[in-house]
A and B are shown apart, each in its own frame.
Chain A
Amino acid sequence: MIHHPCFLLHSFLAESAARSPDAIAVVCDGQRTTYRDIDRRSNALAHALAARGVERGDRVVILGDNTIDTAVAFWAVLKASAVASIVHPQTKPAKLGTLLRDCRARALIADHRLEPAFAEPARSSPDLATVMITGTTADARVAAACERLAALPGLTALADAIADAPHDAPPPRRCIDVDLAAIIYTSGSTGEPRGVMMSHRNMVAATASIASYLGIARDEVILCVLPLAFDYGLYQMILAFSAGARVVLERSFAFPAEVMRTVADERVTGFPGVPTVFATLLGMDSLASYDLSAIRYFTSTAAALPVKHIEQLRRRFPAAKLFSMYGLTECKRCTYLPPEDLARKPDSVGIAIPNTELWLVDECGRRLGPDQVGELVIRGATVMQGYWGKPEATARKLRPGPLPGERVLHTGDLCRLDDDGYLYFVSRTDEVIKSRGEKVPPREVESTLLEISGVREAAVIGVPDELLGSAIKAFVVPEPGVVLDVSVLQRECRARLESFKVPHHIELRAALPRTSNGKIEKSELG
């Protein structure tokens, strides 16, 4: 229930902490943390940030895994009236530098174990005034890291900063709800990072909408194996906090047996995943050995869940509801398929989420009727404020809507509606590949390959893959007289790209097929 005239995203935390301070908010790494504790620690960290010059609207980048520190840091940045941007812990140094400079980050909060990733970019980001690394200098490893990193601006150990700051109340509120709460980085079609600007109002609206159709209640225990750096992961924590419920943070689904033991022990009720997670889950030989009777619902998004996996999930978990969903970071989510429609419309991505409207348009912007394929347009309170610092890219996506001054989101996704108004995803208008549920722009992988010495040409496509949805396949033409080693190419890509963008298959070719006007003909590769 929203009581305050200016309800900000972190009002969820404040209200839940006031209502049930002793309830467990986060379970992570065997540690159970109460709402009171998260509230107090984030109060203190917010004060610490403010004391170090972080002001209303400043961007604070958080580099970390799904840990309690990352969670506390997120809420603390909001309480400091600043804008939070959680960045994936696998981000490579050059990319991190690009992100820090792109959003002109004022502060960086980073896991001390990721020192090799952030040391250099933190040194060369001109707007950065404060670097906080997790841990306390009472820990010899952290003290040693602080010594090595002493040249970084305003270097502090996070736990020391929290210990020295007041815990009882947050700093004064400076924001109103149209101010930015978060910048969530996603990839444009050329691979350049785009910071999706989300206001407090955007994120509160998205949370309210999703919580309503999932029926999130106070006794929910929501699993989060997806990175907090992605909106799908981040919203698991926000959804839990909005209801005073519990989130179980896991770093990943890399060790499924361990995660499933936690799911059983913690009596997890909500299990969000992507198709890769469900393929792994259903393939486990020990699946029957866990008591998973508390699971009330599954959610899947990022790519279509194969119908056979839908059927296996329904057989294995007959009491659980399965929500198949679809969306893009730019509006958080577009649609969900009500579980009762799953049997009759298994290929549909469903209907608009509550408080959102959608329609399809042709190339001239004319609205289309049923069974015609066109671009999906989204109207509603979750539509982003734009891409940070990219007015042209923003203008392509956000265009005038029905009301004066209103902007609606042109998604770039081609879809179709049936007679009942259910949406079907057809394809993307850009080339972006979805692998393991994550966006991989072929052009970014191609330009990375082209940076490697001896590579003359490169073309990257997605090929169907049982586990990944699409696997990344690269075709590489060597410079004349050069012998390329595929494993060396892969290693070079690993040094430059997040791991999910590294080609799974590389095929060396003498030449690539071309169209009559000289463009590479990707449809002939495969």
Chain B
Amino acid sequence: MHDDPTDPQRHLRDFIVTNFYIPDGQPLDEVTSFLDAGIIDSTGVLELVAHVESRYGITIADHELIPSNFDSIGALARFIQRKRGRDGGSNGGFNDRLAR
């Protein structure tokens, strides 16, 4: 899949639409809250984190796993851009660190 690496919004929207249930009549714009609209719950957040980590090669620390970074397409796109501007490599993200 091709997307503009400087703006992940379109790809994120595709991922959300493909992988989660958007009720009929539910708008999904840049600011729609995933949690308020019942689009994503706690397991969904983990799936989203795993996807973002692998696709964008970033590592998400648990202090970054907060609604202001993850609860809408716009917030998540901005977060990814900030992260990619700051660090590149990945060495085991949130999902890899679950207690084993």
Contact = CB atoms under 8 A, between A and B. Distances in A.
B71 to A, nearest CB: 9
Contacts of B85: none
Contact of B43 (A286, A466, A500): A500
Contacts of A255: 45, 65-67, 70
A257 B66 contact: yes
Interface string A279-291: 1111111100000
A90 B35 CA distance: 10
B interface, size bucket: 20 to 34
Contacts of B45: 254-255
A252 to B, nearest CB: 4
A279 B44 contact: no
A116 B23 contact: yes
A285 B96 CA distance: 11
Q: Which of B40, B62, B94 has the most CB of A within 10 A?
A: B62
A499 interface: yes
Given A252-B41, A467-B46, A117 B23 contact: yes
Interface in A202-256: 251-256
B24 to A, nearest CB: 6
B61 interface: yes
A257 B65 contact: yes
Nearest to A112: B36
Nearest to B21: A494
A119 interface: yes
A116 B32 CA distance: 13
A257 B63 contact: yes
A97 interface: no
B80 to A, nearest CB: 17
Contact of B21 (A92, A119, A253, A467): A92
Contacts of B38: 89-90, 113-114, 116-117
Contact of A467 (B26, B67, B70, B98): B98
B41 A254 contact: yes
B97 to A, nearest CB: 5
Q: Which of A279, A467, A487, A499 has the most CB of B within 10 A?
A: A499
B63 A494 contact: no
A286 B61 contact: yes
A121 to B, nearest CB: 12
Contacts of B19: 487, 490-491, 494
A495 interface: yes
A116 B27 CA distance: 10
A281 B42 CA distance: 13
A258 interface: yes
B62 A256 contact: yes
A52 interface: no
Interface of B: 18-21, 23-26, 33, 35-38, 40-46, 61-67, 70, 94, 97-100
Task: For the complex of A and B, list the 10 residue pairs with the smallest distance between their C-beta atoms, beginning with the closest.
Answer: A116-B23, A282-B99, A494-B21, A254-B42, A283-B98, A254-B45, A252-B42, A283-B99, A116-B26, A257-B62
